[in-house]
């Protein structure tokens, strides 16, 4: 009898896919297969890294240092396009980081993989919305340069799932909770109601994504007998992460940050 395909192996295949549209389609097919019961989950297997590059991404956009990414003025269509392009790049990277969490870390509870599959599917949806909106602005994903700082932290934390949960979803992705409302206001003021509506969807979903990171971080700290707040402060120093405001306290509260943490942020 032929063995059923395995979820984490499928996630790895999606991760190394270089074409954005093909990656989005593959994530959707994987999610559908999982919900339909045609994928199995082997949580214990350590999967060998493939010969293909991780993550798979297209030749464009060109990746440059953050300081070299172009300025984004809301006064012009091109300026708004550059902002939407930057957001699309963030969402594309977010698809990859969810897939990476699924395949890279074995021996986690089954719900961990189901949670990150949900994140991958929703991030792929966000990317599709932004990519389609770029076309209405006269450009496409890849037309502007972008930076890879989000993925740099993914690589740094590849050896420790607790550090990954601490420093990617609940640090870097949590910045989105803070940044989206003012960006949405700028786009709406510039007359781009469609982009503003997309950001409403992204903020709604990102609260859930950060909550997933928070929940698994606290779970892992509990297993290791560590204080989550003190350990987080230590990880920020160890991995040279940056935590800066202003903070969207209400969104962070919804995403599962403790009241002790929120007080330290000024909430």
Question: In the prediction, which pLDDT does 51 show?
Answer: 72
Question: In the prediction, which pLDDT does 6 show?
Answer: 94
Question: In the prediction, which pLDDT does 1 show?
Answer: 43
Distance CA 89, CA 242 (A): 20
List the domain boundaries for the chain: 74-264
Closest CA to 91 of 150, 22, 144, 155: 150
Question: In the prediction, which pLDDT does 44 show?
Answer: 83
Token code pair at residue 242 = 């940056």
Token code pair at residue 49 = 């890294």
- Spatial neighbors of 71 by CB under 8 A, at least 6 apart, are 79, 82
Distance CA 120, CA 101 (A): 10
Question: In the prediction, which pLDDT does 68 show?
Answer: 67
Question: In the prediction, which pLDDT does 3 show?
Answer: 60
Closest CA to 104 of 59, 28, 50, 61: 50
Question: In the prediction, which pLDDT does 5 show?
Answer: 84
74-264 fold: Ferritin (1.20.1260)
- Spatial neighbors of 104 by CB under 8 A, at least 6 apart, are 47, 158, 161
The list of the chain residues with pLDDT below 70 reads 1-4, 68, 70-72, 267
Separation of CA 223 from chain center:
25
pLDDT digits (tens, 9 = 90+) for 204-218: 999 999 999 999 999
């Amino acid at each position: 009898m032929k063995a059923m395909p395995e979820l984490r192996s499928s996630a790895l295949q999606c991760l190394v896919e270089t074409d954005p549209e093909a990656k989005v389609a593959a994530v959707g097919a994987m999610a559908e297969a999982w919900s339909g019961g045609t994928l199995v989950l082997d949580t214990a297997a350590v999967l060998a890294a493939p010969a293909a590059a991780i993550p798979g991404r297209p030749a464009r956009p060109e990746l440059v240092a953050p300081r070299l990414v172009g300025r984004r003025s809301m006064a012009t269509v091109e300026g708004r396009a550059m902002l939407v392009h930057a957001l699309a790049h963030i969402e594309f990277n977010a698809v990859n980081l969810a897939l990476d969490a699924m395949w890279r870390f074995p021996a986690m509870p089954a719900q961990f993989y189901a949670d990150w599959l949900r994140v991958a599917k929703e991030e792929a949806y966000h990317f599709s919305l932004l990519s389609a909106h770029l076309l209405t602005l006269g450009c496409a994903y890849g037309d502007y340069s972008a930076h890879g700082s989000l993925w740099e932290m993914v690589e740094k934390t590849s050896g420790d799932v607790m550090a990954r949960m601490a420093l990617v979803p609940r640090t870097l992705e949590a910045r989105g909770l803070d940044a989206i409302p003012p960006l949405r206001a700028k786009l709406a003021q510039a007359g781009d109601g469609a982009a503003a509506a997309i950001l409403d969807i992204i903020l709604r979903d990102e609260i859930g994504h950060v909550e997933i990171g928070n929940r698994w971080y606290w779970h892992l700290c509990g297993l290791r007998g560590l204080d989550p707040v003190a350990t987080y402060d230590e990880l920020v120093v160890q991995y040279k992460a940056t935590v800066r405001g202003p903070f969207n306290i209400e969104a962070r509260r919804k995403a599962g940050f403790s009241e002790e943490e929120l007080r330290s942020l000024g909430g």
